[in-house]
Structure formats: structure tokens, C-alpha cells
Amino acid sequence: MTKTSTSLQRTKTTEDEKLLKSPIAEPIPFTQTDTWRVMRIMGEFVEGFESLAELGPAVTIFGSARTKPGEAQYETAVSVAQLLGEAGYTIITGGGPGIMRAGNQGAKAGNTVSVGLNIELPFEQNLNPYIDLSVDFRYFFARKTMLV
């Protein structure tokens, strides 16, 4: 029979043992993995291109969200969008307030299709009331691609 000496037992944990005992990370829900993120991004591009494909010639108007009705830049954007609409162009904006709203307002006055490419933000930007077609985006770069 063999005896084990208590003096031979280690009491200190090595760095390797500490590393191997580190808590295992919680599994990530599969819809939040990189693979699914790529699928969501691809979906935004597909939806964006599909939504805009049949609109014909279009012009994007994009500018400050802080410009107010009555300011020179706002009124100019309304006039330009109206003239472009009357000439047969669809007007595309970011769908928000300011110059974007002015562009959509001018599109309505010019009797043309008014498109808003909205971005989902934590402080939710509401679409302006002059939108005929709204496309929502989660990723800024996908939205910017559709604006050009």
C-alpha cells in the first residue's frame, strides 16, 4: 500500500491552470453571429436595389436635418425638387427632417415619386410626411450606397 504525503500536494495554482479554468463565454445567439450579420447586410442591399429598381431616373437630395422651413436653403431644396419632379425625376432623400423633408415636399409639389431611405437610430428619426416609398436601413453604408 502506498502512502501519499500531504507535504507533496501543491497548494498554489499555476498560471496555466488559471487560464484553463477561466469561465467559458456564453454562447452568442446564432442571429448575432458574423455569418448572420453578413446575411442581414446582404438583405439590406437586396431590398434596397429591389425597391429602387423600377423607379426610373432619380435624383438624391441629401442635406442637413436641422434646416427649418422658411430658411433659404430649405426653400431652394423644395423648388429644385419640384422642378426635377416636373421633369420626370423621382426624388430620393434620407427621409428625415430639414433638407431631406424639403426634397420630399418638393417631389410632392412636382407630382413625382418621393422616396425616403430611413436609418434605424437609437433616438428614432421619424419619416417626414411627404414620403411615398420608405426603405428602412440598419447599416449606414448600405443606405449611403442606395442614395448614390
Beta bridge partners of 26: none
Q: Which residue's C-alpha cell is 447599416?
A: 139
42 occurs within a structural domain: yes
Give the integer Cα–Cα distance in Å for 142 and 38. Answer: 12
Q: Summarize pLDDT for 94-115 with one digit per residue, the tens.
A: 999 999 999 999 999 999 999 9
Beta bridge partners of 117: 135
Q: SS3 of 139, please?
A: coil
Q: Summarize pLDDT for 119-129 with one digit per residue, the tens.
A: 998 876 789 99
Residues recorded for the chain:
148
4 occurs within a structural domain: no
Task: Using a cut of 0.75, tell me whether the model's pTM lies above it.
Answer: yes
Structural domain including 52 reads 33-147
Number of domains within the chain: 1
Number of Cβ within 10 Å of residue 123's Cβ equals 4
Q: Residue 101 maps to which CATH number?
A: 3.40.50.450
1 occurs within a structural domain: no
24 occurs within a structural domain: no
